[in-house]
Structure 1
Amino acid sequence: MEWAADEKVSQFCTWDTYTCKDQALDFIKNIAIPHPWLRVICINKKAIGTVSVTPNSGCFDSCRAELGYVLAYKYWGKGIVTKAVKIVVSNIFQEWPNLERLEALVDIDNKGSQRVLEKAGFLKGVY
């Protein structure tokens, strides 16, 4: 709930700010657990965010996947997500040998997230 209930965090996400514990439990049960590749970012055994890789489907897109991440606001600017993204990038291509391209979509106003990707070696493109 620390990040899901925070409007500073959810403003750049595809989901609305959570307003109750049941929404978080529903996310865990119906999205996090069945997700093909989602990891929790923890500090001192406390969940402070997530990082995920979602494979594309279809005969032309199956070699591509999308990176996503979210982090509680009070941990922004500390290099935590950058480190998590670098770990994912260094491992995901071995875990998924069919993967040729890892992409991330970022809101144009989310400068911090853009910087995370740049520091992790992603190249900026406009599509």
Structure 2
Amino acid sequence: MEEQEQQTTHNSGGSSGEISLRPLQLSDVDDFMVWASDPDVAQLCRWEPYTSRNDALAYIAGTVLPHPYFRAICVNGRPVGQVFVTRNEAGSEACRGELGYALALGYWGRGITTEVVRMAVAEVFGGRPELERVEAIVVVENKASQRVLEKAGFTREGVLRKYVVVKGKTRDVVVFSRLSTDDHS
């Protein structure tokens, strides 16, 4: 698929280095394990930290590679995180996708995720004309992720109570959205 061949690059101009997005590959498994095995990174995510390189390889091969929009977040060419937008194929849900992301702990607080979210949303809206809405569902306790989405131009829509189970506990979440008609600058 042509979309999977593309790489989006942005020079942050700050101390973060060059930020780029590209398809995650099997050869990235060791870099993937840095963030995907970190309990601090996975703490408020729906997935458990990876403990096995083989499980990570199976996930990349079976889920990531066939995914229509799953990208490695790279800083100076090295994968340090992931960003994805789901593709809903069902009729009434085909107009929207859900955004997800994770970044290695050592890169937190540098504005990388905000820039990546802006880049990914612009890319998916540009490449998928059927997509009218990208939404993000964030656990209420994850204030940093809520700030990322607000800075990236998402609108806070509200709280869904007892909406999702994360780490064995039912959690309230905040729903954010960005529409294809929003200004993407």
Q: Same fold (TM over 0.5)?
A: yes
Alpha-carbon distance in 1 for matches of 2:54, 2:92: 38
1:91 Cα deviation (Å)? 2.3
Give 1:117's aligned residue.
149
Match of 1:102 among 124, 134, 144: 134
Match of 1:87 among 97, 110, 119: 119
Q: Which moved more, 1:57-66 or 1:116-125?
A: 57-66
Alpha-carbon distance in 1 for matches of 2:55, 2:41: 16
Alpha-carbon distance in 2 for matches of 1:93, 1:45: 24
SS state at 1:113 partner:
helix
1:24 Cα deviation (Å)? 1.4
Count of aligned pairs: 127
Give 2:178's aligned residue.
none
Give 1:28's aligned residue.
60
Return structure 1 stretches of 4+ with deviation > 6 angstroms. Answer: none
1:60 Cα deviation (Å)? 1.2
Letter matched to residue 101 of structure 1: R
2:98 matched to 1:66?
yes
Question: Which structure would you say has the larger Rg?
Answer: 2
Match of 2:77 among 3, 24, 45: 45
Letter matched to residue 37 of structure 1: Y
Q: Once the two structures are aligned, what percentage of the paired residues are identical?
A: 48
Alpha-carbon distance in 1 for matches of 2:60, 2:90: 27
SS state at 1:99 partner:
coil
SS state at 1:24 partner:
helix
TM-score of the pair, normalised by structure 2 = 0.66
Alpha-carbon distance in 2 for matches of 1:47, 1:95: 23
TM-score of the pair, normalised by structure 1 = 0.94
